[in-house]
């Protein structure tokens, strides 16, 4: 009888230990999953920041802005009464001016600003690299980032607009590849791939290679079309999808016309719309 009781107690202890072990393991896996999800969200936020930086630098190479206006500070000199100094007689004021593509000078590039921004990307990348490495993003692709940054700096030092555009587009393509490894959202992956092709098309306009422009726009359309069959969570996203697809078709028409300024106008609207969809 005593032996029987010992056996029952032993079996009961084993069951309790098994249940306890299961819950401990389950809890650990839940925490690990939660930690991974948090890191994925953080990494996507970092990638979106880099996305904005690259696009703004590429836009800056043609003085393209998402704003239709810019504020300029001006000093107006008033007539002197005789005893007043020039500084006493001056008035600082701000003037709102149209900032549009048709009247902008594509060759008046603020290289100083662009060089400062690309230099800042080195320090930003250190943090991003640690997070992406933790998420097991393809190591070879991660190593390419710094190498491409070096190439961009060299092209900016030479103030070579055409090659700088291409190298920045190469850098953006890397972001799209990181998103494939980090994000679980097929729509987000597709939008980044679409943006990458649109940016390559934009870079090729500066190189006057319209065959390549048409090729990249066509690939962007094919990539983006995959989203049109996916379920959309809300009407705002549905409207954005339709608007972006219309703009992609207009960009295709622009590439056939081979008119640079018209292409840039629709490019600006399209890339801005795509950016809001992944922000």
Q: How far apart are CA 217 and CA 253, in angstroms?
A: 10
Among the listed ranges 134-138, 165-169, 196-200, which one has the minimum average pLDDT value? Answer: 134-138
Q: How far apart are CA 135 and CA 51, in angstroms?
A: 19
The residue with tokens 């622009």 is 254
**Average pLDDT for 144-155:** 96
Q: What is the dihedral of CA 205, 187, 125, 118, to 10 degrees?
A: 20
Residue 66: its pLDDT value, please?
80
Confidence of residue 95 (pLDDT cuts 50, 70, 90): very low
**Average pLDDT for 49-77:** 78
Contact between 179 and 163 under an 8 Å Cβ cutoff? The reply is: no
Among the listed ranges 25-34, 48-57, 73-82, 253-262, which one has the minimum average pLDDT value? Answer: 25-34
Residue 63: its pLDDT value, please?
93
The pair of structure tokens assigned to 56 is 């703004």
Among the listed ranges 56-60, 65-69, 166-170, 214-218, which one has the minimum average pLDDT value? Answer: 65-69
Q: Three-state SS string across the chain, please? A: CHHHHHHHHHHHHHHHHHHHHHHHHHHHHHHHHHHHHHHHHHHHHHHHHHHHHHHHHHHHCCCCCCCCEEEEEEEEECCCCCCCCCCCCEEEEEEEEECCCCCCCCCCCCHHHHHHHHHHHHHHHHHHHHHHHHCCCCHHHHHHHHHHHHHHHHHHHCCCHHHHHHHHHHHHHHHHHHHHHHCCCHHHHHHHHHHHHHHHHHHHHHCCCHHHHHHHHHHHHHHHHHHHHCCCCCHHHHHHHHHHHHHHHHHHHHHHHCCHHHHHHHHHHHHHHHHHHHC
* Spacing of C-alpha 26 from chain mean position: 36
Backbone phi, psi, residue 129, to 5° = -60, -45
pLDDT over 60 at 111, yes or no: yes
The pair of structure tokens assigned to 229 is 């069959």
The pair of structure tokens assigned to 57 is 């630098």
Residue 101: its pLDDT value, please?
78
Residue, of 152 and 32, whose pLDDT is higher: 152
Q: What is the pLDDT of residues 72-93, one digit of tens each?
A: 454 555 555 555 555 555 555 4
Neighbours of 268 (CB within 10 A): 20
pLDDT over 50 at 26, yes or no: no
Of residues 211, 221, 106, 113, the one with CA closest to residue 162: 106
Residue 31: its pLDDT value, please?
45
Q: What angle do CA 169, 172, 176 make, to 5 degrees?
A: 135
Confidence of residue 68 (pLDDT cuts 50, 70, 90): low
**Average pLDDT for 27-40:** 64
Percent above pLDDT 90 for the chain: 60
Average pLDDT, the chain: 83
**pTM attached to this predicted model:** 0.78
Backbone phi, psi, residue 36, to 5° = -65, -45
Confidence of residue 132 (pLDDT cuts 50, 70, 90): very high
Among the listed ranges 32-41, 105-114, 148-157, which one has the minimum average pLDDT value? Answer: 32-41
Percent above pLDDT 70 for the chain: 73
Residue 72: its pLDDT value, please?
43
Q: How far apart are CA 235 and CA 153, in angstroms?
A: 42
Q: What is the pLDDT of residues 206-250, one digit of tens each?
A: 889 999 999 999 999 999 998 877 666 655 677 888 999 999 999
């Amino acid at each position: 009888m005593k032996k029987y009781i010992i056996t029952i107690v032993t079996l009961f202890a084993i069951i309790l230990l098994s249940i306890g072990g299961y819950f401990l393991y389950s809890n650990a896996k839940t925490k690990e999953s939660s930690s991974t999800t948090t890191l994925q969200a953080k990494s996507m936020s970092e990638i979106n920041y880099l996305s904005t930086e690259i696009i703004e630098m590429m836009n800056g190479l043609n003085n393209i802005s998402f704003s239709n206006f810019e504020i300029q500070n001006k000093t107006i000199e008033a007539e002197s009464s005789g005893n007043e100094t020039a500084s006493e007689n001056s008035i600082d004021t701000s003037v709102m001016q149209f900032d549009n593509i048709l009247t902008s000078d594509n060759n008046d590039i603020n290289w100083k600003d662009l060089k400062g921004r690309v230099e800042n990307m080195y320090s930003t990348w250190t943090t991003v690299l640690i997070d992406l490495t933790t998420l097991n993003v393809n190591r070879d692709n991660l190593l390419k980032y710094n190498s491409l940054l070096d190439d961009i700096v060299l092209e900016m030092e030479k103030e070579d607009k055409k090659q700088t555009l291409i190298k920045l587009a190469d850098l953006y393509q890397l972001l799209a590849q990181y998103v494939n490894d980090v994000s679980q959202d097929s729509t987000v992956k597709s939008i980044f791939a679409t943006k990458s092709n649109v940016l390559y098309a934009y870079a090729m306009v500066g190189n006057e290679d319209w065959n390549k422009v048409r090729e990249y726009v066509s690939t962007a359309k094919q990539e983006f079309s995959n989203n049109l069959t996916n379920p959309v969570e809300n009407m705002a996203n549905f409207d954005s999808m339709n608007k972006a697809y219309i703009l992609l078709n207009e960009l295709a028409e622009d590439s056939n016309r081979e008119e640079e300024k018209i292409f840039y106008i629709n490019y600006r609207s399209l890339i801005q719309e795509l950016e809001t969809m992944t922000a």
